[in-house]
Amino acid sequence: MTVPELLEMKERGQPIVALTAYDASMAALMDEAGTDILLVGDSLGMVIQGHDTTLPVTLDQMVYHGACVRRGRSNALQIVDLPFMSTATEVLALHHAARLMQEGGAHMVKLEGGQAVAPIVAALTAHHVPVCGHIGLLPQAIHQLGGYQVQGRDLIAAERLLADALSLEAAGASLLVLECIPASLAKDITRRLTIPTIGIGAGAACDGQVLVAYDLLGISPHTPKFCRNFMVGAESIGDAFHRYVKAVRDRSFPAAEHSF
């Protein structure tokens, strides 16, 4: 899977399937199931390390887990998160993105934020680093937001998120994650952008979907509303991943009950 192929999938209206991955064994199962994107997310700080937030995750840890996933991946595009404060300046962002690609196996890096981080996105893409943006609920800004809540519910907030999306695309982002925003807003953003959108709690109109693997396997302490337990009725973890891929492809997931 390549960045141009993802754009072609959007143009064809073919749903893009993404999952979080943190190790080689799980990555191999996801890849075999036909997952298009493996996201080495800083969510590992919560589901693997047991922290309350993603903030304690370090760049070295992202490099380590990225390298683990790389050894299990065969076909999927690999995206690795830039962790908290690793993009505070353009120099830091470039140095850290280089490590994620050279040591961590990343084909693309992901960073959180809207218009404020557009200059960082532009600097990265100018140096041939593919970038995935991330707007809506920003886990790295959780103390600023005050909790894990749906974003963009009112008109002003919705207009700000649309402006964020357009700004990131203009800066050169190749992909955009929309997290926990109303389905109607995600649909509007997806229609306005030429780059693919990947939703998590953002409704069915996004160009693709991503879930935290531990959530869809039903082993997270609290399953979010936007998730479905794909282990129910599955014969194995690999079968659960196959079921998820099929459900995203045929647009039976997410359903209305998984949206805001």
Widest Cα–Cα separation across the chain: 49
Q: How is residue 37 written in tokens?
A: 């994107």
> Which entry of 11, 159, 169, 179 is annotated as an active-site residue?
179
Cis peptide before 15 (omega within 30 of 0): no
**What angle in degrees, to the nearest 10, is found between the helix axes of 183-192 and 155-171?**
30
- Is the N-terminal amide bond of 83 cis, ω within 30° of 0? no
Q: Give the span between the Cα atoms of 145 and 160, in whole angstroms.
A: 15
Distance CA 161, CA 166 (A): 9
User: Is position 179 annotated as part of the catalytic site?
Assistant: yes
Residues labelled as active-site residues: 179
